[in-house]
Amino acid sequence: MTELFIKAELASSALVPAELHGMVCGMAVNGTPEFVVADLVALAGPDTLNDEEALGAFITEALDQLYDQEMSFVPLIPEDDEPLSVRVEGVVEWSGGFLAGFAAGLTASRDELPVDVQEIIRDFAGLSGMDASDYADQERFDLEDIEESEASLMEIYEYIRVSVVLIMALMDEHQAQEAAD
């Protein structure tokens, strides 16, 4: 369990770490000039967050990873030693949290967003609708199916990681263009 995961658990007992991390990342890349903690509290609901100091530490570390020039950002979903269904559920929760965070405080309409951002948002919406229960009973799968599912999940994980960084760059460019016009 990572330190960031532990901070997320301390910050909120009502939201799973993947969802909280998705919200923070979505809010951080939606083109708003700065991250406002009060907006996250309003989005998540004040009753879902139980430790202000832990929340601040969680946000700081999540944003540091997101903005790291070494591209150390990774979505906070359960690790490889967890069952496949738990990791798929983490992708679902992270994607849903990201979409909520991205939409919160977004000043542009969806049609005004860069086309690539619109496409990624549609993809994330699809990911947020996956059914993790399809992966709950791994005993009914043969080894080849499990390996294929694992490979697919790794591709999704990498797609999320790269897409968030791409959205951040595209939204920064979009905001600069809007300011210039």
Residue 67 is part of a domain; what is its CATH number? 1.20.120.740
Q: Whole-angstrom Cα distance, residue 61 to residue 151? A: 28
Provide the residue range defining the domain that includes 144.
Answer: 3-180
Q: Extract the tokens encoding 173.
A: 């460019």
Using only C-alpha atoms, what is the Rg of the chain?
A: 17
The whole-model pTM stands at 0.91
End-to-end CA distance of the chain: 46
Cα separations in angstroms, 23 against 5, 32, 51, 88, 140: 14, 14, 17, 17, 34
Q: Extract the tokens encoding 149.
A: 């599912």
Percent of residues, the chain, with pLDDT higher than 70: 92
Write the CB contacts of 1 (distance below 8 Å, at least 6 apart in sequence). 79
Q: What is the mean pLDDT of residues 73-85?
A: 89
pLDDT for residue 100 is more than 60: yes
| Amino acid, single-letter form, for residue 23 | M
* Number of domains comprising the chain: 1
Between 45-54, 61-70, 127-136, the lowest mean confidence (pLDDT) is in 127-136
Q: What is the mean pLDDT of residues 27-48?
A: 89
Residue 93 contacts residue 82 (beta carbons within 8 Å): no
Q: Whole-angstrom Cα distance, residue 172 to residue 126? A: 24
Write the CB contacts of 65 (distance below 8 Å, at least 6 apart in sequence). 4, 72, 73, 74
Q: What is the mean pLDDT of residues 15-26?
A: 96
- Residue 66 pLDDT: 94
- Residue 72 pLDDT: 85
CB-neighbour burial class of residue 83 (10 A; exposed 0-12, middle 13-18, buried 19+): middle
Residue 67 contacts residue 25 (beta carbons within 8 Å): no
Q: Extract the tokens encoding 137.
A: 């009973």
The dihedrals phi and psi of 111, each to the nearest 5 degrees, come to -70, -20
